[in-house]
Amino acid sequence: MKIAVFGAGAWGTAMASHMAARHDVVLWARDAALMTQLTATHENSAYLPGSPLSPRLRFESDFATAMAHGTGERALCVAAVPVAGLRTLAGHLARAGDVPQNLVWLCKGFEADTGLLPHQIVAEVFPSVAGGSLSGPSFAREVAQGLPAALTIASAAPTLCELTIAACHFGALRIYSSNDLVGVEVGGAVKNVLAIATGVSDGLGLGLNARAALVTRGLAEMTRLGVALGGKPETFMGLAGMGDLILTATGDLSRNRTVGLQLASGKSLDEVLASLGHVAEGVRCARAVRDLARAHGVEMPITDAVCATLFDGLPARAAVEALLRRDARAEREDDGQPG
């Protein structure tokens, strides 16, 4: 299978290297210096240092050439850019003379200005493509090292799910399919915000009990919003919901958890982002999650607390204390009501 991967960050590089073991894969990035370094060393020292890439993986600096490689009925284009770059990339692909037929995106989050999920962005600028989201609990570094992982491809197009499984499901990587595109994308977006909260809790030394409570109640928040937006409740019990939340909230490789840890240490958001060096989607989409919840009448107190700490100057400890002061209520798991 011919596959073109657009975006040579950690996740795009890791997935391109994995797929190249069995398929004809080219990896494109707009950074010419990075492309030169990748070609010379076959290692992405900027994003995946110490992880040699598949010797079969090829690098392409010309966008049109890379796109042509992923064009065809049985070919695949993979968007490995952040949500903020998805609209631009999809627009470039849609305006090509011979447009790609199949597009999978790896990004997780809501578009900051519009509050749109990735599939809604693609539908606006590239409605003719068969598109889907590949999501789930996965750190790029571990995938690049060949360690086991399981992901979900969500799409309304069964043929795209089949192509993605054929492209990725081998070796240590398992791919499951779903037709709940909304649920899978909401899970991938909201878990980043909740991981910031668990990072704050861990950074303040509040203990494992507190972490478990945050993850569990955070899952309830995620499910309420996802169902309100059209997702299926059972999706949030799977890889793209609970699975991704557990990983991102507890794993030391999580950028969003790192944001919370550093906020708990007293650093400002600007200081945290300057030291991080990579995108933390939870910061980018936290406002969109909060605003969507309010617009749909969904109560998300943990998300509100994260936003207050990120954007309103509320100290991390004060945000936690505000959560602890909330009134007692019944735990309701299945009716979509606040709990």
Domain with CATH 1.10.1040.10 in the chain: 189-324
Written as one string, the DSSP assignment of 80-140 is -S-HHHHHHHHHHHHTSSS--SEEEE---S--TTT---HHHHHHHH-TTSEEEEEESS--H
Residues in contact with 312: Cβ distance below 8 Å, sequence separation at least 6, in sequence order: none
Determine the pLDDT at residue 332: 64
CA quadruple 134, 300, 319, 219: dihedral, nearest 10: -50
Q: Give, in degrees to the nearest 5, the angle at Cα 177 between 188 and 89.
A: 55
Joined tokens for residue 114: 């519009």
Which residue positions form the known binding site for sn-glycerol 3-phosphate? Answer: 108, 136, 138, 191, 244, 254-256
> Would you call 9 helix, strand, or coil by DSSP?
coil
Q: How far apart are CA 28 and CA 6, in angstroms?
A: 5
In the annotated binding site, the residues are 7-12, 30, 47, 108, 136, 138, 140, 191, 244, 254-256, 279, 281
Q: Count Cβ atoms below 10 Å from residue 157 Cβ, excluding itself.
A: 16
What is the per-residue pLDDT for 297?
97
Q: How far apart are the first and last CA of the chain?
A: 47
User: How high is the pLDDT of residue 139?
Assistant: 96
Give Cβ neighbours of residue 285 (< 8 Å, ≥ 6 apart).
Answer: 83, 109, 110, 111, 112, 189, 192, 193
| Residue 278 confidence (pLDDT) | 67
Instruction: Classify 2-179 by CATH class.
Output: alpha beta
Closest CA to 263 of 211, 322, 318, 215: 318
Annotated binding site for NAD(+), which residues? Answer: 7-12, 140, 255
Question: Spelled out in words, what is the top-level CATH class assigned to the domain 189-324?
Answer: mainly alpha
* DSSP secondary structure, 13-46, as one string: HHHHHHHHTTSEEEEE-S-HHHHHHHHHHSS-TT
pLDDT < 70 regions, the chain: 278-279, 332-339
Binding residues for NADPH: 11, 30, 47, 108, 140, 255, 279, 281
Contact, 267 vs 199, CB < 8 A? no
C-alpha torsion sign, points 236, 237, 241, 242: positive
Residue 28 and residue 79: Cα distance in Å, rounded? 10
Q: Are strands 58-60 and 24-28 parallel, antiparallel or unpaired?
A: parallel
Distances (CA, A) of 27 to 31, 86, 114, 180, 244: 12, 16, 29, 28, 26
pTM value?
Answer: 0.94
CATH 3.40.50.720 maps onto the chain at: 2-179
191 is catalytic: yes
